[in-house]
Amino acid sequence: MMIKKLAIYLAAFLIATWFMTPFVLITLAALTPPREFYRWPRPIIPSRFTLETLHRFIFSYKVLESTLNSIIVALMTIGLSFAIGLPTGYALARFAFRGKDLLKLLILTTRMFPIMVAAIPLAVLSIKLGIYDTLIGVAFVHTAMALPFVILITSNIFASIPKDFEEAAMTLGASRATAFLKVTMPLALPALTASAIFTFVISWNEVFAAAILTTLNRTLPAQVLVSLDVSPMYFKFAGGFFMTIPALIFILITRKYLLTMWGIQLR
């Protein structure tokens, strides 16, 4: 029993180390003084930590504006994805109708084609609709990318919640909508939060469509891609470090719901 527990802890430590090592190295490089960055051999841990590179990066490349754009686009993507995905997932989980399995397959097939294939048609369509170089135009594309996952995840979530709970509430006088909001949604909230995190990460990390569909109102990944192409290496590390911070903050805010899904209660 002790050996099994030690093996689990060792596996968890190795997995955590595997995922945390790139972030730690990027953080150390972003906090290294520029003059020390090209010293050879450059130590992994700098002789002193400085915010000089981050300060110059933030105020030289319109980072704050593009970060706000990314946050707005990600939140709009979550809102649009859940506004469409929640009812669709609920219908797939609760109702039986002809073509249900085919509909699930068609939803998955939307992810068969890479975004690069649809780049030019998307740009032409956004120009015709008058939403080119707007945040809502980028949010629509990100919603199309995240929606299949949201629909399938939410349908599995609602299918795992016994239908008897809703029926019991309706026998006590609640409507189906009330039973859904008062009974099903609280039970599904932890798993839905995990789906929201997944949607946020998809939108936050997407760069190709954002770079194609915007010129002035760029999201942070698109701004970093365009601005840091020929910049010094320490600016690129600063950009990589800065891109991870908002996503980490969002996950920390929603972590209690994510942990609740696994039966872990935060004190």
Model pLDDT for residues 164-216, shown as the tens digit of each residue: 888 888 888 888 888 888 888 888 887 788 788 888 888 988 888 888 888 88
Q: How far apart are the first and last CA of the chain?
A: 28
Tell me the average pLDDT of the chain: 82
d(CA 165, CA 262) in angstroms, rounded, equals 21
CATH of the domain at 229: 1.10.3720.10
pLDDT at 75 over 90: yes
**Per-residue model confidence as pLDDT tens digits over 135-147:** 999 999 899 888 8
Sign of CA dihedral 263, 258, 252, 233: positive
- pTM to 2 decimal places: 0.78
Rg, C-alpha atoms of the chain: 23
How many Å apart are CA 42 and CA 171, to the nearest integer? Answer: 71
Domain ends where: 60, 77, 106? 60
Amino acid identity at 168: A
Same domain? For 179 and 77 the reply is: yes
Whether residue 56 is found in the same domain as residue 93: no
| Residue 232 structural domain | 62-260
Structural domain includes residue 130: yes
Q: What is the pLDDT of residue 263?
A: 47
Write down which residue in 42, 60, 78 finishes a domain.
60
% pLDDT > 70, the chain: 93
DSSP 42: P
Is residue 76 domain-shared with residue 138, that is, in the same domain?
yes
Mark which of 9, 34, 60 sits at the end of a domain: 60
Q: Provide the domain count of the chain.
A: 2
**Are 88 and 151 a contacting pair, CB within 8 Å?**
yes
- What tokens were used for 82? 């859940």
Asked, for residue 267, whether it belongs to a domain, the answer is no
Among 13-22, 33-42, 242-251, the range of highest mean pLDDT? 13-22
